Amino acid sequence: MLSSARPRGYVWRRALIVVGMTYVILGGFLLPFPRVDNILGQTHRNLFFHVPMWFTLMAAMGVSAFWAFKYLRTRDPLADVRSVEAARVGLLFGVLGLLTGMMWARFTWYQGTGKWWNNDPKQAMAAVQMLIYAAYFVLRSAFDDETRRARIAAAYNLFAVTTVPFLLYVLPRQMASLHPGAEGNPAFSEITHPLMRAVLYPSFLCFIGLFWLLYTQRVRLAWVQRRLHPDPLAL
């Protein structure tokens, strides 16, 4: 059972994440990385923000599906709250990742073509994932009864997970990717300078940490609101 008191060690974990994010933002924008004289220019700095956002989306998907599974097993209302909030925060990171990716692609890969949306499998995968979460929230709003809503939403959440391996199999066979590591493209580690990795790897941890901060805060907020307003329609 979740208490409204602050969990132990929360303050220093939050401080660590704030300091880490500050380092990532300052380092990502200011450190003198070797300049690559091709179409990238200075845009490679987007790497420190765009890529961790995707990792966070994937982590959030996993967390949301895990708590959906726990909900069906235990019928604990807190598991449902966790599943929803992970999906909500994950959706936020997904939209940000999609926007940063679109900007980046528009001014590098598609420079001069004026294209904002293109046939990239990773982009398509993300778009489908956003659509599934949007449908998940629409489905939730269609139920007034709280336990039924939680049960049905958890079942849809897990049912939607079935698509993921198939999308990973089908999409790369239908569209060519320009992302690193795709067929014929150099792997990620071959094209990044050691100095860049010194920012990128902490950035992964910090973005996951930021997700954890927002997610736990939202869960506690939702849980407190639930106890203040037992009326299911007030949530």
What residue ranges bind another protein (CB under 8 A)?
A: 72, 124, 128, 131-132, 134-135, 138-139, 142-144, 147-148, 151-152, 154-156, 158-163, 165-167, 169-171, 173-174
Closest CA to 80 of 88, 27, 43, 197: 88
Q: Report the nearest approach of another protein to the CB of residue 170 (Å).
A: 5
**138 φ/ψ angles, rounded to the nearest 5 degrees:** -60, -45
Smaller CB distance to another protein: residue 18 or 164? 164
Q: Report the nearest approach of another protein to the CB of residue 137 (Å).
A: 10
Smaller CB distance to another protein: residue 61 or 210? 61
Residues 6+ apart with CB under 8 A from 207: 52, 53, 55, 56, 93
Q: Report the nearest approach of another protein to the CB of residue 134 (Å).
A: 8
3-class state of residue 61 by DSSP? helix
Whether 173 and 80 have beta carbons less than 8 Å apart is answered as no
Smaller CB distance to another protein: residue 16 or 134? 134
Rounded Cα–Cα distance for residues 60 and 19 (Å) = 22
Smaller CB distance to another protein: residue 18 or 167? 167
Residues 6+ apart with CB under 8 A from 38: none
Q: Per the structure block, which two tokens stand in for 103?
A: 């900007």
Q: Report the nearest approach of another protein to the CB of residue 138 (Å).
A: 5
Q: Report the nearest approach of another protein to the CB of residue 162 (Å).
A: 5
Rounded Cα–Cα distance for residues 158 and 113 (Å) = 39
Smaller CB distance to another protein: residue 78 or 103? 78
Residues 6+ apart with CB under 8 A from 161: 61, 65
Q: Report the nearest approach of another protein to the CB of residue 152 (Å).
A: 5
Closest CA to 91 of 140, 20, 48: 140
End-to-end CA distance of the chain: 19
Smaller CB distance to another protein: residue 103 or 155? 155
Smaller CB distance to another protein: residue 69 or 110? 69
Q: Per the structure block, which two tokens stand in for 61?
A: 């998907």
Q: Report the nearest approach of another protein to the CB of residue 222 (Å).
A: 22
